Structure formats: C-alpha cells, structure tokens
Amino acid sequence: MGRALVWDATCVDSLAASHLPSTSQKAAAAAESAQMLKRPKMFLLRQAVSNARQLAPSVRAMSSKGPLVDLTVDNDGVAIMTLQRPPVNSLNLDLLKEISKSLDDVAKNKSRGMILTSSSPTVFSAGLDIMEMYKPDMKRAEEFWTTLQDVWFKLYGSSFATAAAINGHAPAGGCLLSMSCEYRAMVGGKFTIGLNETALGIVAPKWFMDTMCRTISMRQAELALTTAKMFTVDEALKCELIDEIATDKADAINKCKTFLKKFEKIPPLARAITKLKMREEPIKNLQTSRQADVQEFLSFLKNPKVQQSLEMYIQALKQKAAK
C-alpha cells in the first residue's frame, strides 16, 4: 500500500529586504533562517499525527524495566513511570537517557495517560546531578544538556496526558519534571518543591522559568526564582504549584488517576491539540534557541565562579549528609 506524502517546500527570496542584512554577511543565511523557523511547525505537525494514531482505543501491554526507570501499565491503561536512582534520583546522563526512552515507549503505546513518580520514600528527584556540572567533560556535558532538553520536549510537549505523584522533595530539575506534567499531587509533610538554582550560584534556563511562569503566577515565579524559594507543601498548594495534597504515595497516584479519568469523555485528538497549542510558545522558543542554549550551558560550566559555587554547594551537601 502506498503512503500519503506531504510536501512542505519553502522558496526563500534571499534578496528580500528582510533578508538582505544577513545574506550580505553569510551565504545561505536566508535559507538557514527559514529552516530554523520551520522546525517548530514540523514538530507540532508530527505531534498531531502522533495524536491521531493514539485515537485507537486498544492499550498494548507495556513493561520496560531499565535499571533506573520502571515503566508499567496498570489495569486501567495508565502508564506509571517510576524513577529509581538511589539515593535521591538526581538526574545524571544515564537516568535522563532512560527517561527519554521511556517517554518514547509511552508515546508509542496507547496508554490513557502517564503518571510520573519515584521509588524513594522521601525524594521525588533532587534535580540535576550536580556531579554532571562540576569539573565536567565538555563532550559529556553537551550530551547531558541535549538529553535534558529532549526529556523536556517529550514530557512538556507530550500528546498523552501526564500527571506527577510527587512523593518527596522536588528541588530544581525535580520541580521542572513535575511542572512539565499537567497535574501535580504532592504528599504532605516536610517535603519541599521549587526552583532553587540561584542558591547554587547558577541561573535557571529560560525554559525552566517559562515552565514555572505557566504553572504559578508571573509575580510568584519571579519572587520564587530570585529568592531560590523552596515551597512547603501547603505553600505550594496555595500558589497552585501543586494541585492537591495527598496523604501518601498511593493516595497521590489515585489522585493523579482521578485527574486522568477526566479525559475519558474528551475526544483525545481535541485534547492533545489543545494542550499543544497552549504549550506551543515555550516549545517553539527552545526549538529556535536550542543550540544557543547548549552553548550557554557549556560556557556557564567553564566559568570559574560557577565551578566555585558548585564546589561549595557539594561540600555543604556532603557535610549535611554526613551528620
């Protein structure tokens, strides 16, 4: 059987007034710029096609057990992705690669939705593994950051519905993962959640900030980001960083399932396209600045002051852990 092909050709007028400044500096600059602008459009098109494929109601059995991520589908057809990198699920390259692959698996499978949680009783995720940023091998650091970007694209821009059962602390990258989901239920108690990058002497990238600004109010986000605020569970609920407080992990997962059930009566394609349109802007922004974002990260790591801050932070963490 033949397959339908869609051609989307662009002819660039490299002598157009808007292109002249760049074309006069660099050959093919107009074509390159057209290509960059086209990428987000193609991404959304691919997502829409993937949504259409998900309209079929059957759910394939899925169980993928990497050492660092456990992925299972429960009887209701909901995928449960459990991070399991002791002691604190810090996101190193290996864990990010497994998350990325597991997200692909969920997308391929016709799951009703996905719940992200952790196998630790006290930590959802400690965020990025600081050891990936401290005195790094630059080649690995580049792969690390690119994989983190991939994970965000796949999670924030997923066509399947997502929820986070936050069963412990969720600083920085841990908070980002949960904010990239559509719904958050967090276990009550002494846990905290937030983007605390400035406390480490580092700056949360723009797409981290965008994700937070689309979860809580801009005013709250600015205050939280500049003061490295870690919200208690009650504070997080008050400013809508989380949606519900749960009594324990099982309760958090049940609350996420109740959220996912809301979509039973909503046509999946309409739901997915609506979600992607709502999230289109930050996705497009990172797609167009992706290479620059990697370079910014790498040059940040080369900055001696950043390395010094990281060293002091690691020492403080180790001293605290030794007590």
Ligand X SMILES: CCCCCCCCCCC/C=C/C(=O)SCCNC(=O)CCNC(=O)[C@H](O)C(C)(C)COP(=O)(O)OP(=O)(O)OC[C@H]1O[C@@H](n2cnc3c(N)ncnc32)[C@H](O)[C@@H]1OP(=O)(O)O
Residue 72 or 307 with smaller CB distance to ligand X: 307
Catalytic annotation present for 128: yes
In sequence order, the 6+-apart residues with CB closer than 8 A to the CB of 283 are 40, 43, 153, 156, 157, 276
Active site residue 244: no
Annotation marks residue 197 as catalytic: yes
Minimum CB distance to ligand X, residue 199 (Å): 7
Q: Which of 113, 157, 173, 194 is catalytic?
A: 173
Report, in Å, the least distance between residue 255 CB and ligand X.
23
- 209 or 246: whose CB is closer to ligand X? 209
| Partners of residue 169 on adjacent β-strands | 123
CB of 300 to ligand X, least distance (A): 4
Residue tagged active-site, from 98, 132, 182, 197: 197
Q: Are 85 and 128 in contact (CB under 8 A)?
A: no
* Shortest reach from residue 291's CB to ligand X, in Å: 13
128 phi and psi, to 5 degrees?
-60, 145
Q: How far apart are CA 30 and CA 28, in angstroms?
A: 5
Active site residue 196: yes
The partner residues of 171 in beta bridges, in order of sequence, read 194
CB 193 within 8 A of CB 218: no
CB closer to ligand X, 125 vs 162:
125
Q: Closest approach of Cβ 301 to ligand X, in Å?
A: 8
* Alpha helix positions (H), the chain: 20-25, 29-53, 93-108, 138-156, 173-180, 206-213, 218-227, 233-238, 249-261, 268-302, 304-322
Residue 296 class from Cβ within 10 Å (0-12 exposed, 13-18 middle, 19+ buried)? middle
Site residues, ligand X (CB under 6 A)? 87-88, 90, 122-123, 126-131, 169, 171-173, 196-197, 200, 202-205, 296-297, 300, 317-318, 320-321
CA atoms of 111 and 123, how far apart (whole Å): 26
Query: Is the distance from CB of 149 to CB of 114 less than 8 angstroms?
Result: no
Measured from the CB atom, the residue of 128 and 212 that comes closer to ligand X is: 128
In the chain, the amino acid numbered 252 is A
Selected catalytic residue, list 68, 71, 95, 128:
128
Q: Which is nearer to ligand X, 67 or 267 (CB)?
A: 67
C-beta nearest to ligand X: residue: 127
Residues known to be catalytic: 128, 173, 196-197
